Amino acid sequence: MGSRVGAVLAAAMVSVAAQAAEKPNIIVILADDMGVDSVAELNEKLGIKTPHLDKMVKGGISFGDAHSGSAVCTPTRYGVLTGRYAWRSRLKSGIVGKWERPLIEEGRLTLPGMLKEQGYDTACIGKWHLGWNWPKKGGGYTQKQGEIDFTGTIEGGAMGCGFDYYFGDDVPNWPPFVWIENGKMSGVPDTNLKFAAHYGSNNGIGLKGWKLEDVLPEITRRSVKYIDEKAKTDDPFFLYFPMTSPHTPIAPSEQFKGKSGISAYADFLMETDWCVGQVLEAVERNGISENTLVIFTTDNGTSPKAKFEELREKGVELQEHWRGYKADAFEGGHRVPFIAVWPGVIKPGAKSEQTISLVDIMATCADATDYKLPETAAEDSVSLLEVFKDPSVTKPLHEAVICHSITGQFVVRKGRWKILFCPGSGGWSAPKDAQAKKQGLPDWQLYDLVKDPKEINNLVNTNPEVVAELKGILKKYVEQGRSTPGAAQPNHNQQNWWPQLPWQKGE
Ligand SMILES: [Ca+2]
Ligand SMILES: [Ca+2]
């Protein structure tokens, strides 16, 4: 090869590498069942130390008004990975069940798919809970445990929607108690496992000797290993790290058992914080901080399995600012911590009170990588990049944000106003909807969150014009198949009405 040709080639290669290097690495850490009051830096009454999350808050931007798409696991995860509210899919309430097929539609552009298209290496390490195609004995797929060929390959799921790599325990409190790596199980789950009640886990089939305590440390170790490996390559990477904690099984590892002096749950929350710290440390150690966007958030509010009262007696307050908890339409169900760190782009210690949603992660990542989203994708997602760069931007990014309870009850949030189209919590806290109805409470609830953050004074009967406006917004968002500007898109099966919507069919 002539030296000139070689030099030109070398220059071209450098330029390709430089272009690739311009795309930031992206890490999305999604804790499980961890409400906004669970971070010490954001709640001075927490009573548990969270030094690593505190460091993120101080080093980046934290949002005080961020919401998960739903108050439970599966639908929020759908929204993170598609930028679309999960109630547009086949799932109108609840979660994907054991052995259920994939929820994310084939052919839909996803967050990992979009990044893969741009040359990213993509990995999901942790809890999936969005369904898989379980291999059936003799061929095909099944949704019945008894028909599954556990030596076969699980398809769809994480590998089917754009991840190059998956490692984890699909749902850690459910069978099978096995590791899944790229569709292969780590062994045949042929032992019936029974766990002590304090874990709060289901029993069922798994590998002999399975230890619930090993799950969180192992997915953390694998995430760190992934960062260590990918930091050495020229291609950018995307790591989605859906943590399994502090959801049940409440299983702090040996290193954390008794560390809080409060409860196993408090120990587990400390371990959760430590695991976030491990990932942050891996980014720093590899010298890639400047070019890595790290987002930490959680899929829904704190579960009552944390035992709020018992913790309160020991000086831990997990419900300082908001009403209700996991599963609810009340704020405690869906208001979550949302922290982003990206040195050079996000200034340290920035705060924003923009009302945002976890569905915004996809458009934010598109914006951060100069990717133009097609109209058929991320229909509810709005980029946060502008606010990352300038937290003083107060013009609302969203006209309104929609949240959803476990029973599929709708919340519309616009500015100070929040409407709940249900008479009670829409979830698990008191009063549940049936109780509320018995008590003769109004069918809907309207709150002024500025004056009444704890959702006590229902203004639904005194503010009919606000009620009409918020209901109209929901109707528009449903019928257009999107809440962002663009061409209308179909919901699942072209369905524009179902019983939880606050108007009559055909109205
Ligand atoms: Ca959850
Ligand atoms: Ca499992």
Average pLDDT of the segment spanning 421-448: 98
* pLDDT of res. 208: 98
Instruction: Report d(CA 257, CA 267) in Å as an integer.
Output: 6
Residue pLDDT, tens place only, 294-328: 999 999 999 999 999 999 999 999 999 999 999 99
Q: 139 C-alpha vs ligand 1 centroid, how far in Å? A: 33
Q: 503 C-alpha vs ligand 1 centroid, how far in Å? A: 29
Ligand nearest to the CA of 172: 2
Helix (H) or strand (E) holding 307: none
Residue pLDDT, tens place only, 126-145: 999 999 999 999 999 999 99
458 in the same domain as 365:
no
With H, G, I as helix, E, B as strand and everything else as coil, classify residue 78. helix
Helix (H) or strand (E) holding 410: strand 410-414
Residue 9 lies in a domain: no
257 in the same domain as 137:
yes
Residues with CB under 5 A from ligand 1 (ion): 32-33, 73, 299-300
pLDDT surpassing 60 at residue 171 = yes
pLDDT surpassing 70 at residue 7 = no
142 in the same domain as 271:
yes
With H, G, I as helix, E, B as strand and everything else as coil, classify residue 14. helix
* pLDDT of res. 18: 47
Domain, as residue range, for 208 = 23-389
Ligand nearest to the CA of 301: 1
Nearest to 381 by CA among 477, 308, 285, 299: 477
Q: Which CATH number goes with the domain that contains 429? A: 3.30.1120.10
pLDDT surpassing 70 at residue 13 = no
Q: 33 C-alpha vs ligand 1 centroid, how far in Å? A: 4
Ligand nearest to the CA of 193: 2
Q: 59 C-alpha vs ligand 2 centroid, how far in Å? A: 35
294 in the same domain as 150:
yes
Residue pLDDT, tens place only, 381-424: 999 999 999 999 999 999 999 999 999 999 999 999 999 999 99
* pLDDT of res. 232: 96
Last residue of a domain, which of 360, 389, 418?
389
Residue 502 lies in a domain: no
Q: How confident is the model at residue 2 (pLDDT cuts 50, 70, 90)?
A: very low
Contacts of 335 (CB under 8 A, 6+ apart): 35, 36, 65, 66, 67, 301, 322
411 in the same domain as 329:
no
Q: What is the DSSP letter of 177?
A: B
Average pLDDT of the segment spanning 164-176: 98
Ligand nearest to the CA of 246: 1
* pLDDT of res. 50: 98
Instruction: Report d(CA 356, CA 110) in Å as an integer.
Output: 19
Helix (H) or strand (E) holding 366: helix 360-368
381 in the same domain as 353:
yes
Residue 499 lies in a domain: no
Ligand nearest to the CA of 154: 2
186 in the same domain as 148:
yes
Q: 422 C-alpha vs ligand 1 centroid, how far in Å? A: 22
* pLDDT of res. 17: 47
Contacts of 107 (CB under 8 A, 6+ apart): none
Residue pLDDT, tens place only, 335-380: 999 999 999 999 999 999 999 999 999 999 999 999 999 999 999 9
267 in the same domain as 241:
yes
Q: Which CATH number goes with the domain that contains 298? A: 3.40.720.10
With H, G, I as helix, E, B as strand and everything else as coil, classify residue 65. strand
Q: 68 C-alpha vs ligand 1 centroid, how far in Å? A: 10
Helices 51-59 and 264-285 cross at an angle (nearest 10°) of 50
pLDDT surpassing 80 at residue 446 = yes
pLDDT surpassing 50 at residue 20 = no
Nearest to 444 by CA among 426, 429, 430, 427: 426
Residue 504 lies in a domain: no
Residue pLDDT, tens place only, 52-101: 999 999 999 999 999 999 999 999 999 999 999 999 999 999 999 999 99
Residue 268 lies in a domain: yes
pLDDT surpassing 50 at residue 1 = no
pLDDT surpassing 90 at residue 24 = yes
Q: 307 C-alpha vs ligand 2 centroid, how far in Å? A: 24
233 in the same domain as 182:
yes
178 in the same domain as 102:
yes
User: Could you tell me the CA-to-CA distances from 19 to 14, 236, 358, 433 in Å, in that order?
Assistant: 9, 10, 29, 54
pLDDT surpassing 90 at residue 19 = no
Residue pLDDT, tens place only, 30-58: 999 999 999 999 999 999 999 999 999 99
* pLDDT of res. 22: 84
Q: 207 C-alpha vs ligand 2 centroid, how far in Å? A: 11
Last residue of a domain, which of 389, 409, 442?
389
Residue 394 lies in a domain: no
Q: How confident is the model at residue 4 (pLDDT cuts 50, 70, 90)?
A: low
Last residue of a domain, which of 389, 416, 450?
389
Residue pLDDT, tens place only, 245-292: 999 999 999 999 999 999 999 999 999 999 999 999 999 999 999 999
* pLDDT of res. 58: 98
312 in the same domain as 453:
no
Label the pairing between strands 134-135 and 121-125. unpaired
Number of domains composing the chain:
2
Q: 298 C-alpha vs ligand 2 centroid, how far in Å? A: 20
Instruction: Report d(CA 321, CA 37) in Å as an integer.
Output: 7
DSSP E strand boundaries for 42-133: 61-67, 121-125
Q: 100 C-alpha vs ligand 2 centroid, how far in Å? A: 13
Residue 7 lies in a domain: no
Residue 2 lies in a domain: no
203 in the same domain as 313:
yes
